[in-house]
Structure 1
Amino acid sequence: MDNIDKRNRLDDEPFNFRVTKDNTVFLDYYGSQVKVLKGTEAEKFLKKINAAENTTQEQLIMAKITGNFKRGNERKI
């Protein structure tokens, strides 16, 4: 775990998620929606999140699922 987040960016907890009644998962990055998970993809995500031992592991799971979405040209809201 120490080699994964060398700059400690996950300590700020930039990722958040919301689950709807029909188990649709919305992943947010600093309050902006970046990914929507439905069906089996959402079920797998929720199992991983429930198995996480702490918030840093939860943040890492969300970071891996969102993938490489940042390119450096995003506007600040």
Structure 2
Amino acid sequence: MGLEDDPFDHRITKSGTVMVSRGGQHVVTVAGAQAQKLIGKLGRSDEEDQQLLARATGNYRRGNERRGGSGAS
């Protein structure tokens, strides 16, 4: 299940925080300078917004996860 099937949603509050949810469940609230940077980047494209929101929540693959299998490290 990817971002296309289960996208993030966000709401920007009057106080400048970004409330991020997914599947109707609140995931994280981003505040302060981090929220202002995120707000400045949101709105360019839906795909880019999804990546930004995933990074803000920590639900982002960084490419260093092991993919299974049995091998020596």
> Does the TM-score normalized on the shorter chain lie above 0.5?
yes
Query: 1 or 2, which has the higher helix percentage?
Result: 1
> Match of 1:22?
15
- Alignment size in residue pairs: 60
CA distance in 1, matches of 2:6, 2:40: 20
TM-score, reference length from structure 2: 0.70
TM-score, reference length from structure 1: 0.67
CA distance in 1, matches of 2:3, 2:39: 19
- The higher relative CO (CA closer than 8 Å, separation ≥ 6) is in 1
Question: Structure 1 residue 12: deviation in Å?
Answer: 2.7
Question: Which amino acid in 2 is paired with 1:11?
Answer: E
Q: 1:66 aligns with which of 51, 57, 68?
A: 57
Runs of 4 or more, structure 1, over 3 Å off, are none
- Would the aligned equivalents of 1:13 and 1:59 in 2 still touch at CA under 8 Å? no
Q: Secondary structure at the match of 1:18?
A: strand
- Segments of structure 1 that go 5 or more residues without pairing to the other structure are 1-6, 70-77
- Segments of structure 2 that go 5 or more residues without pairing to the other structure are 61-73
Identity of aligned residues (%): 34
